[in-house]
Amino acid sequence: MFSIRSLLNFFRVEFLRGFLFLLLLYSLFLLGDAYTLMYLAQQYGVFLALATSATITFAGILLIAANVRAILGRVRRRVRDGVVPGRDYDRLAGILLSALLLVTPGFITHALAVVFFLPILRRLAGSLITRSFKTELAQAYDYLKIGQY
């Protein structure tokens, strides 16, 4: 799953600094979400706050699953035609970021998931994610081309 090179990154100080910063940023969102959820539960009741969060998550995951299925179909067609699906990789990474934020309970992360689900921001966030995986994505393309799945 992980190459040796990507695992060796955990021994580089710059990589660890960036990784820990991302974890810190994510934990701040979780704290904000916990506060928002507690505030809404206090104002409107625990059941309504949790039911609203669960409903948004469920509906969003259904929408994301349909988009992922469509993008994977496009990737298959492009691979079959011999075209590297670079933009589709970006879109897929952006949607997966949106899905990660959507399954995290809370209203702030749900709002961020909706923002990253917008097509322009989806591609932008996806391109930032896939930028560091160019070699792996090229290998994935070769693997898909050989397998013709």
Whole-angstrom CA distances from 135 to 27, 53, 122, 129, 130 are 30, 38, 21, 13, 10
Whole-angstrom CA distances from 47 to 40, 61, 75, 114 are 10, 21, 41, 23
101 three-class SS: helix
Q: What is the pLDDT of residue 2?
A: 60
Q: Could you tell me the pTM of the whole model?
A: 0.78
Q: What is the pLDDT of residue 43?
A: 94
Look-up of token digits 């960036």: 18
Half-sphere exposure of 84 (CA within 13 A, CB side): 11
Q: What are the pLDDT tens digits along the chain (149 aa)?
A: 566 777 677 788 888 898 899 899 888 888 988 899 899 999 999 999 989 989 999 999 999 999 999 999 999 899 888 888 889 999 999 999 999 999 988 888 899 999 999 999 999 999 998 988 888 888 888 888 887 65
Q: What is the pLDDT of residue 62?
A: 94
Q: Which of the 8 DSSP states describes residue 127?
A: H
